[in-house]
Structure 1
Amino acid sequence: MIIQVWSDLLCPFAHVAIHRLRVAREQLGVEVQLDHHTFALELFDGPHPRPGTDSEAVGLGQLEPELGFRLWTKPDWTYPSTVLLAAEAVHAAKEQGLRASEELDHALRKAFWLESRSIAHRQVILDVATEIGIDTTALAAALDDGRARATMMADHAIAVTDAIQGSPQFVLPDGSSVHNPGIKVRWEGPFAAGYPIAENSDPGWAERLLKQAA
């Protein structure tokens, strides 16, 4: 059983939702694979703004403290204003299986949100992959010849249509989907200057989604 996950690596809402889905999968003991697809926010809005991600981390970090949301702590010039290469790596890792791709996606999110690592950089991506046991020789070859780039951009061609609303969105085997489940927020102040306040958080959506998919 496969659930498609459409998201951006620097989207904190996706980080929370994917974490909740992974936890629910483990608790239920169901055989579900996550097939990651790219909803590249930077191709809609331009380079990722650090004030935006910092402010969202402040608000959403309260929902899942164990995720370890942190503000960016490294020098400003190392902040990853693009993560297209990292997203391409997640696609390229599918050559080693969907599980490898899922674990690389998860590790890259942790590297950014928890450790302030610049996941825009090729070597950082490969270092993260090495740490989780990915075949980095094969991954490096895929990045260098760009074999997954067309697949990633094909995702963008779908993302600009009405088929995908945003990051994150989960598409079930029957074709039904849900966008940004379990979180309803309002903004205190303008985006990147204020911060989101969770008005409603429902972690139980993940268990219901998995049961529906099954």
Structure 2
Amino acid sequence: MSLSQSDPFRDPALVNQDDAIVTVWSDIGCPWATLALQTLSARAGERGVTLLVDHRAFPLELFNERPTPKAIIDMEVTAIAGLRPELGWQDWSGPESEYPVSTTPAMAAVQAAKDPSVGGLPASDQLDAALRRAYYEQSQCISVHARILRVAQTCPLVAVSALDAALQRGAGLADVFSQWGMARDLPVQGSPHFFVGGRYAEHNPGVTYHWTAPPGTGFPRLDEYDPAWADEVLDLIETSQVHGTTK
């Protein structure tokens, strides 16, 4: 969806002001967000496009004032993975007692990793992707500090000791709460919502789905997934990289 060059899409609180950077508002525990990010990353790799993502937290548990129900996540994962098995997702296979009741600590780590001493935006994006793999593919409890650091050790761009020290100081958590507050006032529709400068904004791109009945009695049905949206985003990024368009 193309946008005008007017506000609010020039608001740095909403979108990174570098047009070569994708801003994504999402929750790590949202399967739809993870589908979109994996789609974009895979397509960028196929095209040889350097992808840089500025992750902003859209913490569902804070909006909804409860943990995201495992039953809903399980059904959404099944619906998505059944249509896109190449994602490599698995049903939760860990003990029920280790299921992550909160993704806020993981999202705080992603925010903390943005600090140059930890690795900056590239490290933040690498850590976000690794935490999602740990959750959706390996059934790891990404609520726990030690597990987050263990995942970070698989990320070459992340300075793990610096991340550990930052998290012990509380870095990242204030950012999650601040972004939660901003998302309520900004035109962020949910998780995920993608922005590229003032030219692109899309909530849950490429997805056509519905619930057969309200959650609790019905099931999510993924009617169609069109990954062509990723090429639209990457075309914009390539143009910006060539022309160096930063506001």
1:171 shift after superposition: 1.0
Runs of 4+ off more than 6 Å: none
1:192 shift after superposition: 4.9
- How many percent of aligned residue pairs carry the same amino acid? 37
1:174 shift after superposition: 2.3
Q: Which is richer in helix?
A: 1
How do 1:2-151 and structure 2 match up within 5 A? 2-45=21-64, 46-95=66-115, 96-133=119-156, 134-151=158-175
Unaligned 5+ segments in structure 1 are none
1:175 shift after superposition: 5.7
Q: Is the CA contact (8 Å cut-off) linking 1:7 and 1:38 kept in structure 2?
A: yes
Q: Is the CA contact (8 Å cut-off) linking 1:169 and 1:177 kept in structure 2?
A: yes
Unaligned 5+ segments in structure 2 are 1-19, 240-247
Aligned residues: 214
Residue identity matched to 1:35: D
Q: Aligned equivalents of 1:205 and 1:178: distance in 2?
A: 9
Q: Is the CA contact (8 Å cut-off) linking 1:55 and 1:193 kept in structure 2?
A: no
1:162 shift after superposition: 4.3
Residue identity matched to 2:61: E
Q: Is the CA contact (8 Å cut-off) linking 2:200 and 2:233 kept in structure 1?
A: no
CA-based RMSD: 1.5
Residue identity matched to 2:96: D
The more displaced of 57-66 and 33-42 is 57-66
Superimposed CA distance per residue, residues 90-109 of structure 1 (whole angstroms, 9 cap, x where no aligned partner): 01111212111101000100
Superimposed CA distance per residue, residues 8-52 of structure 1 (whole angstroms, 9 cap, x where no aligned partner): 001000011001111121222223311111000000111121111
Q: Is the CA contact (8 Å cut-off) linking 1:24 and 1:206 kept in structure 2?
A: yes
Q: Secondary structure at the match of 1:178?
A: strand
Q: Aligned equivalents of 2:87 and 2:62: distance in 1?
A: 27
The more displaced of 194-203 and 5-14 is 194-203
